Every structure is written in structure tokens, then in C-alpha cells.
């Protein structure tokens, strides 16, 4: 896995590079200390699997950089890693096409869960925003995500978290539309990829929103993210038979 990490704070950049490299021997990380460095890196070689983007950059607004990246490299997943965990920032980032949002105070496990989910085609947002149980932050004030992996840390396997949308009654075509919505693609691009009209896409999007019981694209994305995270959480919990 090839990762571009964009953060203008040298200590955080170095620490996150170390943490992400701990995912496995096949992980390479290139650090960029500014939006300009990130642009140059992508222009030189756009063959990255993932971008981790800080919102507070010295030479540019992080949201504008996110918008630019999504427009220029639409197939490249971008995960925001930010000191902010404001709901408004999370929603805005998802609206602009981010595939995940990880507060910097998150634990290593939360960071790895976010990367697993995004690399398997899902979307990750902070559990506290979804009403899921999040591990309490206690002890000293140094974020766990800033710490290198210990030798005993388990390495993630990049497999898709269990998720079934059959219960909400989506047709195969509606599922296709939802998958592209989760990638932040607009109706025109969805229509082009599925070889249907924009009006047909609009009808499918409306049907997806009704099926999920939401009224906007962002709410749909958050609803599916909650389903994915809850399914992954359930999968990690031992069944009653396992404890016997």
C-alpha cells in the first residue's frame, strides 16, 4: 500500500509516518509538509492508494485541497486526519468527498479501523458522531495515534467489513448507485459509469435515500458508515458459543 501523508507539523508528520508504516512491510509512506509539496508529489506520481490529509495547512485551506484532490484524482481515496472533531467539519469533509475522517486524538486501533474500512471500499467517520461506543480517552494528553506501534500490535488484514443492505430493499442497480455515492461521485459521473441517463440516476438516488430513511447524500453516507462500523464491531465480539 502506498500512502501520501499531508501535514505541515514536522513532529506529527514523522510520528504518523512511523505509525502507518507499522501496518506492514508492504506499506510505503511519503510525507508532504504543505499543499504545494502534496501537489508536486501527485503530479510526479499519482499512483497512490490513499491520501491522509490534515485540514490545517500553512499554505492552503485543507477543505480546498480536499476539493482539488477529489476533482483531479477522483479514484484516489482521501482520509482527513485532523485535530478537529467538530461535527460540522466531519460533515463538510464527507460532503466534499472524503472517504474518512479521523480525529488526531484517536487511538491507533481507530486509525487502523478507518484505513481498513476505506481500503475495502467503505467510509469511516468518528464513532462518537454515529452514536457508537468509542474507547475513552484517558491518561496523558499525548494522542495514541502519535505513538509508534508496539511489537505486540496486530496487523490488519484488508478485508471488507461485513455489510448487508438486503434488509433495506435495494435493487442491484440501486446498490451500484450507492457504491458510487460512497465514493463521492456526482450524478453525471455515476450516469457515465453506469451508462444510464442523469435522470435515471436521480431516480435511483431518491430510492436509495428512501430505503435508508434519510434525506440527503451525506446522511446516506453516514448511515452506511454506521452500518459498516456496527457490523465490524459485531464481528469482533465473541459469540456466546466461543466463551464455552
> Is 124 within 8 Å of 52 (Cβ atoms)?
no
Residue 154, pLDDT > 50, answer no
Helix (H) or strand (E) holding 67: helix 62-72
Each residue of 7-30: pLDDT tens digit?
A: 999 888 888 888 888 777 888 999
Dihedral over alpha carbons 159, 163, 165, 166 (to 10 degrees): 100
For 81-100, what is the mean pLDDT? 86
Least confident range of 71-85, 190-204, 228-242? 228-242
**pLDDT(227) > 80:** no
* Mean of all residue pLDDT scores within the chain: 78
Mean pLDDT of 53-59: 92
Note the pLDDT of residue 51: 95
Cβ atoms of 79 and 50 closer than 8 Å: yes
- Phi/psi at 124 (5° precision): -120, 130
Q: By CB neighbour count within 10 A (0-12 exposed, 13-18 middle, 19+ buried), where does 136 fall?
A: exposed
Q: Decide if pLDDT at 155 tops 80.
A: no
| Domains, the chain, ordered by start | 2-146 (3.40.50.2300), 166-243 (1.10.10.10)
Residue 20 to residue 65: CA distance in whole angstroms:
22
**What are the pLDDT digits (tens) for 175-206?**
888 888 877 777 888 899 999 999 999 999 89
Given a cut of 70, whether residue 136 has pLDDT beyond it is no
Q: What's the grid cell of residue 239?
A: 459469540
Q: Is 240's pLDDT higher than 80?
A: no
Amino acid at each position: 500500500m502506498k500512502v501520501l501523508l499531508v501535514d505541515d507539523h514536522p513532529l506529527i508528520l514523522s510520528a504518523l509516518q512511523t505509525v502507518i508504516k507499522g501496518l506492514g512491510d508492504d506499506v510505503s509512506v511519503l510525507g508532504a509538509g504543505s499543499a504545494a509539496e502534496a501537489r508536486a508529489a501527485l503530479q510526479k506520481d499519482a499512483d497512490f492508494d490513499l491520501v491522509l490529509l490534515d485540514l490545517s495547512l500553512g499554505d492552503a485551506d485543507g477543505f480546498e485541497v480536499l476539493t482539488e484532490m477529489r476533482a483531479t484524482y477522483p479514484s484516489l481515496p482521501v482520509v482527513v486526519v485532523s485535530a478537529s472533531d467538530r461535527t460540522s467539519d466531519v460533515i463538510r469533509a464527507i460532503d466534499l468527498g472524503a472517504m474518512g475522517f479521523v480525529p488526531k486524538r484517536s487511538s491507533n486501533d481507530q486509525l487502523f479501523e478507518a484505513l481498513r474500512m476505506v481500503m475495502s471500499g467503505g467510509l469511516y467517520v468518528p464513532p462518537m458522531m454515529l452514536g457508537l461506543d468509542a474507547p475513552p480517552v484517558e491518561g496523558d494528553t499525548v494522542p495514541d495515534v502519535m505513538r509508534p506501534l508496539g511489537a505486540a500490535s496486530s496487523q490488519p488484514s484488508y478485508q471488507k467489513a461485513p455489510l448487508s443492505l438486503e434488509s433495506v430493499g435495494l435493487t442491484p442497480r440501486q446498490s451500484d448507485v450507492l457504491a458510487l455515492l460512497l465514493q463521492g461521485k456526482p450524478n453525471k459521473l455515476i450516469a457515465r459509469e453506469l451508462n444510464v441517463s442523469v435522470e435515471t440516476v436521480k431516480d435511483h438516488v431518491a430510492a436509495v435515500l428512501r430505503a435508508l430513511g434519510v434525506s440527503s447524500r451525506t446522511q446516506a453516507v453516514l448511515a452506511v458508515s454506521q452500518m459498516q462500523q456496527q457490523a465490524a464491531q459485531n464481528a469482533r465480539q465473541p459469540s456466546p458459543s466461543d466463551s464455552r
